[in-house]
Amino acid sequence: MFQTAGMTDVTKPLPGAAFGATVRLGADIPGDLPAMLDDAGGLLLLPGQHEISDRPDRLVDLSRAFGPEVEDYRFTLANPASVHASVPEIFIVSNLPPVSKMPPKRPEPPLTPDGRFPVQYPQRRGWHTDQSYRRPPPDVSLFYAVTPVARDRGQTLFASGILAYEALPAALKARVERLEGIHAQPGTGRSREAVLRGEAPKPCKPHERPQRQPVVRVHPTTGRRALYLCERSQMDWFDGPFVGMEPGPFGEGARLLDALMTHYTRPEFIYVHEWTQGDVLVWDNRCLVHTATWYDAEKEQRMMWRTTVRGNPGALYAGEKRSWIPEEVAAE
């Protein structure tokens, strides 16, 4: 543990992980939070932020510390039921109506062969980086536990793309160096399941089209390289998952994606977060993937608030228009 200026306690790394930090904040929001995030490999736990439940604008203030723009969900085609009524920068993730978002299924089998909580793909599913089907993609997400479920379920899992990239065998590193993934928004008809059912690709409006992203992403402030990709559910299975590689569920691209995701989510690159009321987690989407886990949505109530910070995606995206805004809206 060490102290920084302004009485902020920082403990590194996060328990059981090789990256991340716990930051105990006072009343003030220190200006060096982005440097702490970079220094911790892209993941910060800010415990004890209970006052956000009564003062949701505090979550927006905290978010502003991490970048120039906190996304206003009224203007991003989000389902209005998921947007906080008085603070539209907050996206609600909950199994309660009207949001009614259900948790993912339990892995099958529920434990690893040696009896552990499964983290590695493909036994653990859902690994993604937020909104990678947009260009430019967002930088940072914050997630606040208003009402988490009991421990041992409803966790959020993180994998470090920096550690995973650094540990790639040389041949695989060379293979992905200039490769691009094709990322698709779930629900736009580009899924692996749609291909397997023999469906034709649905016509996509320009703002719904899949987007290319580098598989190796260079962080704009640290210069560190990280693997940047998602598992099956957020890739394009008609033209992808990779540019210039045999497409579809049984192609060369599918085999590479499986190999990369299995490597990315090796247990030594993982942090498992067990939620406590009042926790804020801050993660850098440019260098981490994450996934949700099962809880009993019939018996338990979960309420979480998310914000998204954008505006520093790196030189690769300089000057790009937002891919996800329809032209008629962008013109207004």
Q: Which among 23, 86, 89, 37 is positioned nearest to 220, based on CA atoms?
A: 37
Q: Which is nearer to Fe ion, 158 or 165 (CB)?
A: 158
Q: Name the minimum Å distance from CB 124 to Fe ion.
A: 14
Q: How far apart are CA 111 and CA 258, in angstroms?
A: 20
Of the pair 133, 237, the CB lying nearest Fe ion is at 133
231 lies in the binding site for Fe ion (CB under 5 A)? no
Closest approach of Cβ 130 to Fe ion, in Å? 5
Q: Which of these segments, 35-43, 124-132, 168-176, 224-232, binds Fe ion (CB under 5 A)?
A: 124-132
x-marked contacts with Fe ion along 82-121 as a string, rule CB under 5 A: ----------------------------------------
Cβ-based neighbours of 178, under 8 Å, separated by 6 or more: none
Residue with smallest beta-carbon separation from Fe ion: 130
Q: Residue 23 or 140: which CB sits closer to Fe ion?
A: 140
Residue with Cβ nearer Fe ion (12 or 101): 101
Distances (CA, A) of 169 to 173, 175, 198, 332: 6, 10, 36, 49
- What's the 3-state SS for 212-275? EEECEEECCCCCCEEECCCCHHHECCCCCCECCCCCCCCCHHHHHHHHHHHHHCCHHHEEEECC
Which range binds Fe ion by CB under 5 A, 50-58, 126-134, 165-173, 256-264? 126-134
Q: How far is the CB of 131 from Fe ion (least distance, A)?
A: 8
Q: Which is nearer to Fe ion, 89 or 130 (CB)?
A: 130
CA nearest neighbour of 219 among 166, 157, 273: 166
First-to-last C-alpha distance (Å) of the chain: 50
> What is d(CA 314, CA 223) in angstroms, rounded to the nearest whole number?
10
Task: Pick the stretch among 71-79, 123-131, 152-160, 165-173 that binds Fe ion (CB under 5 A).
Answer: 123-131
Interface segment toward Fe ion; rule CB under 5 A; list 56-64, 125-133, 194-202, 308-316: 125-133
Instruction: Report, in Å, the least distance between residue 14 CB and Fe ion.
Output: 18
* CB nearer Fe ion, residue 137 or residue 214: 137
Asked if the bond preceding 97 is cis, omega within 30° of 0, the reply is no
Distance in angstroms (rounded) separating the CA atoms of residues 173 and 36: 28
Alpha-carbon gap, residue 3 to 36, rounded angstroms: 12
Query: Among 49, 56, 91, 130, which residue sits at the site for Fe ion (rule: CB under 5 A)?
Result: 130
C-alpha to C-alpha distance for 275 and 289, rounded to whole angstroms = 18
Residues 6+ apart with CB under 8 A from 298: none
CB 148 within 8 A of CB 302: yes
Nearer to Fe ion, 231 or 253 (CB): 231
Residues of span 276-295 touching Fe ion by CB under 5 A: none
Contact segment (CB under 5 A) with Fe ion among 83-91, 122-130, 208-216, 241-249 equals: 122-130
What is residue 314's three-state secondary structure? coil
| Binding residues for Fe ion, total number by CB under 5 A | 1
Window of 36-44, 53-61, 129-137, 146-154 that interacts with Fe ion by CB under 5 A: 129-137
Q: Give the residues lining the site for Fe ion (CB under 5 A).
A: 130
